[in-house]
Chain A
Amino acid sequence: MSRLRAEHLYKVFGRRADQAVAQLEAGTDRDELRAQGATAAVIDASFEVEEGHIFVVMGLSGSGKSTLLRMLNGLLEPTSGRVLFDGDDLTALRPRELRQVRANKISMVFQHFALFPHRSVLENAAYGLEVQGVPRGERERRATEALELAGLKGWERSWPDELSGGMQQRVGLARALATDADLLLMDESFSALDPLIRRDMQDQLLQLQKSLRKTIVFITHDLNEAMRLGDRIAVMRDGRIVQTGTAEDILLRPATDYVASFIQDVDRSRVLTAGAIMRDGKVDAAALTDGDGRARPATVTTETPLAELFTPFATSGHALVVTDGSGTPVGVVDRERLLAALAEEPRVESYAQGGTGSGVCARA
């Protein structure tokens, strides 16, 4: 049972929004609508997010991903469609009830941190609790805990303008965590950070997620980030979700040319693993041995990224044996397969169906 489900969400800005939805359903083009003065930001978006998963929505700017996110907590009211959270239809709630949900169950982390400059770090982290009406003592205790989780122990009395960007976003994260909301909406939360810090933050998020197991919707325009973080990834273009799937699905089986061109720049050698490209089946170890039996084939695990296969290949001319976590051989990778996987034009037919969710090295 999924915790969050979006059903046929539409968001149209401008005049006659309702009519526009009907037109879109009938197949009218987005550009035609724009000529009428209506802008369709999100068109027929449906997806589900499992408890404890990170669901990444990826798309270029203007693709409607931020609009989609804001419909999930009601900051924007969908023109049509429903948002179900734990089975409750958020779109049917009255403003006051909706605010209750936002205060208690859903929190949000912003691209530019959105810290209140007139509040100290602690006061910022405690903001959500303050809105909930939690007494001062308790909210400061919980905010301090959240800050500690976010790695900001000792900075409680500082002011936002004294912190670096990364630290500020940690405050933003702590603010979101402090309310104990189950659903975390993250709107390009790491996009404004330097690459190194961004990577740290991604690591920290994954680290936290291991213990907290929140349900997270993460917006990004960075495919690498999406691949690293996402349990599932939705790719958006021009307001529509063009493909939803695991990182591997996206990478190996792009649904459209758009997705395919999008993933061109991804460093496949780091994203794909041996398990994703191996030839399945029982391995005839002898067949891989030299005639004299001296040269044992090298073994790698299914989790090993392709980038780490080059060294073994360089020392032995033979294929590599892929073992699972217990050391049992589960497949073989030869040079041909490796090169094909790295080739620019992925040919869908050439891969085996063996890829699983763990085919991405994100968990490494």
Chain B
Amino acid sequence: MPEFHPGNWAETAVNWLQTNLSWLFDLINTVLTGLYDGINMVLGGAEPLLLAGIFAVIAFWLRGLIAGVVAFVGFVLIDSFGLWGDAMSTLSLVLAAAVITIFFAVPTGILAARTKAVSAAVRPVLDVMQTMPAFVYLIPGVMFFSVGTTPGLLATIIFSMPPGVRMTELGIRQVDTELVEAADAFGTSPRQTLARVQFPLALPTIMAGINQVIMLALSMVVIAGMAGAPGLGERVYAAVTQVQIGLGVESGIAVVILAMYLDRMTGALNVHVSPLGRRAAAKAAAMMGRMQFVRYKPGTVVALSGVLALTLAAGGMNMISSGSGEQAQGGTNVGKGKQLKMGYIPWDEGIATSYLWKEALEERGYKPGLTQLDPGPLYTSLSQGRTDFQTDAWLPTTHQQYWDKYGSKMEKLGAWYGPTSLELSVPSYVKGVNSLDDLKGKGKKFHGKIIGIESSAGEMKILKDKVLKAYGLQGEYKVVSSSTSSMLSELKRSIQQKEPVVVTLWSPHWAYNKYGLTKLKDPKGAFGKGEKLYNVARKGFAEDEPTVAHWLRNFHLSEKQLTSLEAKIQGAPKGQEQQGVKQWLKAHPGFLDKMAPVPGQKKHGNDAGKSVSMAYFPWDEAIATTYLWDNILEDRGYKPKVEQLDPGPLFTAMSQGQVDFQTDAWLPTTHEQYWRKYKDRLTDVGSWYGPTSLELSVPSYVKGVNSLDDLKGKSKLFGGKITGIESSAGEMKILKQVLEDYGLDKEYKVVSSSTSSMLSAVDKSVKQHKPVLATTWSPHWVYNKYPMKKLEDPKGAWGKGDHIHVTAKKGFKKDFPELYGWLRNFKMSEKDLGSLEAAIQKGGKGKEKESARKWLDAHPGLEDKLAPVK
């Protein structure tokens, strides 16, 4: 059979539409969200009790006293669940969808009833709309409109359209033909026939259709919630994916209350809008006779004035409350009400950190919105710039597919946790199973089953493709894919019954805190290396929101912090994650300030405002540290100035007090001449690095060459060449002596060139995987960037190393006591210095300061360590 995939065309078509008809989608988006926002503003803005009162009056008007009371109780119940806002969002969604649906469905139904061709054309379309799984048009919906209200609304409209059209068509068609003929016989025009006869007579059926439209719209809220539409649907979806039974039940009840209210009210509306309905009601009333007061319904005018009075009251309350709304205090109000859109995947660490950030951002005066999404929609949304950031990107493996697809349209804002690990785990009472190897032959014990998670998860793929094969478990075990929540409940069930079970898990996970579990060792490394959890933002976020980006970059959680936060959130009342976060923050004083420090406040140093002049000569470590301090001093409120000078002029200027300090004095050897000359007029603040060393180095893939001794007889390997640097450099002079000491002077020729030539030679060789012998020194970023190894110098021929000092003008200590203290304690490891140099190198010329800033941001806590302020 030849394969046939109309799906490919659909994908092409969707892509084409996305590029060529974006204006149309924007228009649709504007209309839909505008309508929704409008309704939601009215419903969501009002005082819950007053609005519940309005709903009750409507129920009283439409159905009588009992209905009014029940409606009021129902809505108050929703409010007491704390789901009022969500319920109103859902109601707005349903109403907006219903309005649009009816707007299209009724005319279409009328057309279909009057024209056979339209009816025939519309019928299959309706069939498709009604039966096509809603998820299918949710995908392009999300692609066209990103996540949020619009795709959900659209899916809802599509799904609820058919009964509206069908019932309208049916209603009009079933009007007695004799009545239509009678109208015709009295000279009624077709349009008048529709208005005077067909429509009024079809109205009960059309109203039944509208009732169905609304009910179907309500049934779609959960699916709409998956696409990020706010409201109860989102709650239910969250509850389902996070196994929060309480929240699920409460949201479910709220949906039911809404459903019953809408159902009864639209049903009763028929009595009021259609003459036939009125007639039937009058008949029923005549039959009833007694129990009149129960049946009493206020007239339309009375009901309207009641609604009006309550509306006015609600409006007034709003005015009052908006005047005294809470706001973050002036000092910590960094965000000034700026809105941020966060998305999260309902994974525990995602929930935990997202709510943590939500709380932190609110504390800082931002208005963060939080939307739960599946990974696909979330990354789509990020790439389209509709979501600002998320905190739970598992890279490089789990979310690789999304990163590959959208990576260029997003930016990482640092890893806040890692490494993670994937593993299979068994309850600890299962003895004798400690590693994946142990699973072999025990298939019967576990019923040949490994309880998996969502089949789409990356871990499942690795498990099936690699792990089972690596340990020869395929055939013996079957991976049952279900969902994380199912896996966890299966785990819980098994543990309660003390049954053996193998589950697919990962770290960090709260299950390890809650249950006694054994992570099965993976001696073959089949699960691969662990990942890191990144903050990922839309492109340009760091530019738009530098402060938040800065905070995110510096964000870090230890496993203990993360799991305790998760536990607090788990323990909080369902649906009130933020309460859990608040409690956790209380238990971790100072965390918020560390996580989201208020820039420019309290962190200023004592000497803030003072000008400091720094100078450097263009050595890598000098550039690196100078710009590092440049950034730090700026943060501390100083006014640093940086200039580049050659060593001689630099020391001269400093001795004259024109330069306050510099960071790169190699003592006692390299800069001895200057030091000796000016030491009376200089201050040695202290050494921050040392000892330095000079050395020859080779790439680490060159085997068997670890020391200078090993070079002997290997000249062929390196073409008899040692790549040197500037011939004027001190190191080149010493190198000659070194070669003599090790008897290499005949065998090797030192090619002097320049530092940059040496580095490019290394770069070229490493890329081509060739041996190279280079003249290098430490500290240098070359070790950070390339896999170079320093050749040992057992004979000490290179001599003792220098220490790198910070030197300053005379009287520096008196002028800058605080800075003096910081510099005196300044220390940097070779690794840190190497990575800072590499970062600056990578950033390119002219961007040293920005590169140093990025590096600083990527090292949370360093600034406070280097320049502590009380």
* Chain A residues packing against B (C-beta within 8 Å): 73, 75, 96, 99-104, 106-108, 110-112, 114, 116-119, 127-128, 130-132, 159, 161, 175, 179, 185
Size category, B interface? 20 to 34
For residue A100, which residues in chain B have a CB less than 8 angstroms away from its CB? 187
Alpha-carbon distance between A127 and B200 when the two chains are bound, in angstroms: 15
**What residue in chain A is nearest B184 (Cβ atoms)?**
A75
For residue B184, which residues in chain A have a CB less than 8 angstroms away from its CB? 75, 102
For residue A107, which residues in chain B have a CB less than 8 angstroms away from its CB? 185-186
For residue A132, which residues in chain B have a CB less than 8 angstroms away from its CB? 187
Contact across chains for B188 and A131 when beta carbons are under 8 A apart: yes
Alpha-carbon distance between A127 and B183 when the two chains are bound, in angstroms: 8
For residue B187, which residues in chain A have a CB less than 8 angstroms away from its CB? 99-104, 128, 131-132
Alpha-carbon distance between A127 and B186 when the two chains are bound, in angstroms: 8
Expressed in whole angstroms, the minimum distance between the Cβ of B16 and any Cβ of chain A is: 45
Contact across chains for A108 and B192 when beta carbons are under 8 A apart: no
Contact across chains for A102 and B276 when beta carbons are under 8 A apart: no
For residue B176, which residues in chain A have a CB less than 8 angstroms away from its CB? 114
B279 within 8 A of A: yes
- Can you name 12 A-B pairs with beta carbons within 8 Å? A75-B185, A100-B187, A103-B186, A110-B182, A112-B178, A114-B182, A116-B182, A116-B201, A118-B200, A118-B276, A118-B279, A127-B183
Expressed in whole angstroms, the minimum distance between the Cβ of B190 and any Cβ of chain A is: 9
Expressed in whole angstroms, the minimum distance between the Cβ of A323 and any Cβ of chain B is: 47
Q: Interface on chain B toward A: helix, strand, loop, or mixed SS?
A: helix
Q: Tell whether A99 pairs with B189 under 8 Å between CB atoms, given A112-B178, A114-B179.
A: yes
Expressed in whole angstroms, the minimum distance between the Cβ of A340 and any Cβ of chain B is: 46
For residue B179, which residues in chain A have a CB less than 8 angstroms away from its CB? 114, 116
Contact across chains for A117 and B182 when beta carbons are under 8 A apart: no
Expressed in whole angstroms, the minimum distance between the Cβ of A87 and any Cβ of chain B is: 20
New contact pairs (7) apart from A108-B182, A132-B187, CB-CB < 8 Å: A73-B185, A99-B187, A107-B185, A114-B178, A131-B186, A131-B187, A175-B186
Expressed in whole angstroms, the minimum distance between the Cβ of B279 and any Cβ of chain A is: 6
Count how many pairs of residues, one from A and one from B, have CB atoms less than 8 Å apart in the complex: 63
Expressed in whole angstroms, the minimum distance between the Cβ of B102 and any Cβ of chain A is: 21
Alpha-carbon distance between A99 and B276 when the two chains are bound, in angstroms: 27
For residue A108, which residues in chain B have a CB less than 8 angstroms away from its CB? 182, 185-186
Contact across chains for B186 and A118 when beta carbons are under 8 A apart: no
**What residue in chain B is nearest A95 (Cβ atoms)?**
B189
For residue B275, which residues in chain A have a CB less than 8 angstroms away from its CB? 118-119
* Chain B residues packing against A (C-beta within 8 Å): 176, 178-179, 181-189, 192, 196-197, 200-201, 274-276, 279
Alpha-carbon distance between A350 and B197 when the two chains are bound, in angstroms: 57
Alpha-carbon distance between A159 and B281 when the two chains are bound, in angstroms: 13
Contact across chains for A102 and B279 when beta carbons are under 8 A apart: no
**What residue in chain B is nearest A159 (Cβ atoms)?**
B279
For residue A161, which residues in chain B have a CB less than 8 angstroms away from its CB? 279
Alpha-carbon distance between A127 and B279 when the two chains are bound, in angstroms: 18
Expressed in whole angstroms, the minimum distance between the Cβ of A187 and any Cβ of chain B is: 9
Expressed in whole angstroms, the minimum distance between the Cβ of B328 and any Cβ of chain A is: 61
Alpha-carbon distance between A212 and B192 when the two chains are bound, in angstroms: 30
For residue B192, which residues in chain A have a CB less than 8 angstroms away from its CB? 131
Expressed in whole angstroms, the minimum distance between the Cβ of B174 and any Cβ of chain A is: 13
**What residue in chain B is nearest A101 (Cβ atoms)?**
B187
Alpha-carbon distance between A107 and B185 when the two chains are bound, in angstroms: 7
Alpha-carbon distance between A114 and B197 when the two chains are bound, in angstroms: 11
Alpha-carbon distance between A104 and B279 when the two chains are bound, in angstroms: 30
Contact across chains for B186 and A179 when beta carbons are under 8 A apart: yes
Alpha-carbon distance between A102 and B183 when the two chains are bound, in angstroms: 10
Alpha-carbon distance between A119 and B183 when the two chains are bound, in angstroms: 13
Contact across chains for B185 and A99 when beta carbons are under 8 A apart: no
For residue B185, which residues in chain A have a CB less than 8 angstroms away from its CB? 73, 75, 102, 106-108, 185
Expressed in whole angstroms, the minimum distance between the Cβ of A71 and any Cβ of chain B is: 13
Alpha-carbon distance between A127 and B274 when the two chains are bound, in angstroms: 18
Alpha-carbon distance between A209 and B183 when the two chains are bound, in angstroms: 25
For residue B201, which residues in chain A have a CB less than 8 angstroms away from its CB? 116-118
For residue B197, which residues in chain A have a CB less than 8 angstroms away from its CB? 116
Contact across chains for A110 and B188 when beta carbons are under 8 A apart: no
Of A99, A101, A104, A114, the contact of B188 (CB 8 Å cutoff)? A99
Alpha-carbon distance between A145 and B183 when the two chains are bound, in angstroms: 21
For residue A101, which residues in chain B have a CB less than 8 angstroms away from its CB? 187
**What residue in chain A is nearest B180 (Cβ atoms)?**
A114
Contact across chains for B279 and A114 when beta carbons are under 8 A apart: no
Expressed in whole angstroms, the minimum distance between the Cβ of B132 and any Cβ of chain A is: 38
For residue A75, which residues in chain B have a CB less than 8 angstroms away from its CB? 181, 184-185
For B176, B186, B197, B200, which residue has the most chain A Cβ atoms within 10 angstroms?
B186
Alpha-carbon distance between A161 and B185 when the two chains are bound, in angstroms: 22
Alpha-carbon distance between A222 and B183 when the two chains are bound, in angstroms: 27
Expressed in whole angstroms, the minimum distance between the Cβ of B203 and any Cβ of chain A is: 8
Expressed in whole angstroms, the minimum distance between the Cβ of A112 and any Cβ of chain B is: 6
For residue A99, which residues in chain B have a CB less than 8 angstroms away from its CB? 187-189
Contact across chains for A114 and B186 when beta carbons are under 8 A apart: no
For B178, B192, B274, which residue has the most chain A Cβ atoms within 10 angstroms?
B178
Alpha-carbon distance between A155 and B621 when the two chains are bound, in angstroms: 108
**What residue in chain A is nearest B279 (Cβ atoms)?**
A159
